[in-house]
Structure 1
Amino acid sequence: MIRLSLLALLCSASAAAAFPVTVKSCDREVTFDAAPARAISNDVNLTEMMLVLGLRDRMVGYTGISGWKTLDEEMRDGVAELPELSSKYPTKEILAGAEADFFFAGWNYGMKVGGEVTPETLAAFDIKTYELTESCIHIGPKSKSSMDDMYADILNLGRIFGVEDRAEGLVAGWQARLAEVTAGVDRANPLRVFVYDSGEEAPFTAGAYAMPTALIEAAGGTNIMADLEKSWAEISWEPVVERNPQVVVIVNYGDVTAEQKIAFMKGNPAFAGIDAVKNDRFVVLEYVEATPGPRNIKAVEKLVAGFKGN
């Protein structure tokens, strides 16, 4: 018992010695004097990042999942013991009422520019915020989306919560798996790919700064809207028809199913000349696979298989 107590004491002292830590969060430097103990995450992919790092016991809840119908069986077990504090975007009163000390969110992932929940408004409640890297484009310039965006978030969370070894191990494993999955990819003639998220009158799609662009490029394709200087945005159907994608990636979530989205494209005469429609080349990614998070490698695997026509 004495040995165990001493070991626990040494581990505690070692963890304490690692603080304070400072991480880059969009255009801010955020310093943590200790690991958060009452964290809240917004959205399914950000929550899954917390869970994969083994941080459920540091969380008091999550927000923004059931309102978008993105929770699947794999995630349901992970959050079973945690309350959903808000079905969509939380208010600052909800976060303060939960006595949170940390909010993991992003711009258009729980926060809106000029909205009531921002790192600045939460600071008044002593709630520190870490912003999803992919979302930083909403408040300033950043490089095009890449797999490094997701890796950076995992590594930063590892530092914030004092679980750096676990974070580094996860990233190393994902990098190795990604190299294995894409080893045989032919990049000489990348397939033209369109990301169809939602919308019939005008499609909502992924631009240069959205995660699917990085996933598609990792799998050997090119996003036909990669010149769109946005992350996710509504466009018209005209450029989709003109650029003639060979594959359409469907993002599956919400009230309209992937099957319904595919049926809409296949049943509309305006799309009859699109190669992807003519050849029935659709790849379905779940929302949690298409947004930054632990399932991005699985998404690339699906895309590699789909690009081969399997």
Structure 2
Amino acid sequence: MPVARLARPAALALSGVLLLTACGSGDSEDSASGTDSGAAVTLDNCGQTVRVESPPKRAVSLNQGTTEIMLSLGLADRMAGTATWTDPVMKGLEKANAKVKRIADNNPSFERVLDADPDFVAASFVSTLGKGGVATREQFEKLGVPAYVSPSDCVGKDNASGGDGARTKALGIDAIYGEVRDLAEVFGVEERGERLVADLKQRTKKATSGIDASDVTLLYWFANSDSPYMAGCCGAPGVITRTLGAKNVFDDTHEEWPQINWETVADRDPDVLVIGDLTRKSQTAESAKKKIEFLESDPVTKNMTAVKKKRYVLLSGQAMNPTIRTVEGVEQVASALREFGLAG
């Protein structure tokens, strides 16, 4: 996802994550004292081999998505820094997050990351560890620092096509679970990883139990009222849509976040608008409040079905990105569809 469109907030009930961050004392592999399996790990990651000789002790997470996985795995004491925040930290992780230094709100410089003396870096987006980002993976690896990228941003995705890239294959939730397992393996806390995955699966199952949204059309608006970014078929919003059995009105485009004019949006006339409630201030209509004000006053949009019936679902940026909070998106959209009487 481009730096220009990074953010979005939301609350989340996370008993499973609370359990994970509090856990440790009863695990043979990952006790509260920070011990771990200690084994070297080799991963095939986004077309590159990443080898981590021993569990990191000074990891730096360059995007909020990877940060929240690490915090959910109870790894705050092994983190030397975080960067590129788009939302308030996930509910339940506030205390853990407060223990880790934030080295930048957005992309930090390469030098600032190196000042943290990292022994491992992780990013949610290929662009973060590419040209024009923080630094390339090769730059880190030349210094002996393994660099990992979330598989959900590269598997079945063309990031060289411009903009936010395009999906050649629909993203599946398993890619997100795979990232959890990868990071758990890197840090030698595999049991915690499996518990987190199991919790995410259980929450998804509970949220979608008995729901039938096969007749419901959705539109996902991330940011910008002048030239709005709407979700294409196959990224994280696609995971939410397919999980609920609904339809995205722009599922005919494989671009991750194409910019689409309002006349076309109004013509598609979705039943429900899923909108990003962003905390940043880099583009027009970032917050949900501003978005709704625009929708209800603009002559092109005010007569849309979802606007007239006020069928709005507010999601965080992280819920609309391929992260563990995509499950939060499933929960919140499912809950809203039930409230709107559209869940079958």
Question: In the alignment, which of 51, 60, 80 is matched to residue 60 of structure 1?
Answer: 80
Structure holding more helix per residue: 1
Counterpart position of 1:106: 124
Which amino acid is the alignment partner of residue 264 of structure 2? P
TM-score (norm 1): 0.87
Which amino acid is the alignment partner of residue 201 of structure 1? D
Deviation at 1:40, TM superposition (A): 0.7
Matched, 1:276 2:298: no
Counterpart position of 1:148: 174
Q: Give the number of the structure with larger relative contact order, counting CA–CA contacts within 8 Å between residues 6 or more apart.
A: 2
What is the DSSP-based 3-state SS (H/G/I as helix, E as strand, rest coil) of the residue aligned with 2:82?
A: strand
- Equivalent pair of 1:145/1:208 in contact (CA under 8 Å): no
Worse-superposed segment, 248-257 or 278-287: 248-257
Counterpart position of 1:210: 235
> For the residues of structure 2 that align with 1:301 and 1:275, how far apart are their CA atoms?
23
State the identity as a percent.
27
Worse-superposed segment, 141-150 or 77-86: 141-150
Which amino acid is the alignment partner of residue 307 of structure 1? L
> For the residues of structure 2 that align with 1:303 and 1:151, how far apart are their CA atoms?
20
Q: Deviations over 1:91-147 (max 9, x none)?
A: 221122211111110336633445451211211222211111222125476521221
- Relative to 1, partners in 2 of residues 1:12 and 1:194: Cα closer, same or farther, differing over 3 Å? closer
Matched, 1:163 2:163: no
- Relative to 1, partners in 2 of residues 1:252 and 1:188: Cα closer, same or farther, differing over 3 Å? closer
Worse-superposed segment, 136-145 or 124-133: 136-145
TM-score (norm 2): 0.79
Gaps of 5+ in 1: 1-6
Who wins on radius of gyration, i.e. which is larger? Answer: 1
Matched, 1:43 2:63: yes
- Relative to 1, partners in 2 of residues 1:34 and 1:177: Cα closer, same or farther, differing over 3 Å? same
- Equivalent pair of 1:195/1:249 in contact (CA under 8 Å): yes
Counterpart position of 1:291: 321
Counterpart position of 2:145: 127
Gaps of 5+ in 2: 1-27, 161-166
Moved over 6 A (4+): 10-14
Q: Deviations over 1:260-284 (max 9, x none)?
A: 1111111111013322112111100
Q: What does 1:256-275 correspond to in 2, within 5 Å?
A: 256-275=286-305
- Relative to 1, partners in 2 of residues 1:278 and 1:160: Cα closer, same or farther, differing over 3 Å? same
Deviation at 1:156, TM superposition (A): 0.8
> For the residues of structure 2 that align with 1:113 and 1:220, how far apart are their CA atoms?
38
Q: Deviations over 1:59-93 (max 9, x none)?
A: 0010111xx4x225735433212111122112221
Counterpart position of 1:197: 222
> For the residues of structure 2 that align with 1:225 and 1:112, how far apart are their CA atoms?
29
Worse-superposed segment, 56-65 or 287-296: 287-296
- Equivalent pair of 2:127/2:133 in contact (CA under 8 Å): no
Question: In the alignment, which of 11, 15, 20 is matched to residue 40 of structure 2?
Answer: 20
Matched, 1:175 2:195: no
- Relative to 1, partners in 2 of residues 1:73 and 1:114: Cα closer, same or farther, differing over 3 Å? closer
Matched, 1:86 2:104: yes
Which amino acid is the alignment partner of residue 125 of structure 1? L
> For the residues of structure 2 that align with 1:209 and 1:181, how far apart are their CA atoms?
21
Which amino acid is the alignment partner of residue 48 of structure 1? E
> For the residues of structure 1 that align with 2:273 and 2:65, how far apart are their CA atoms?
22
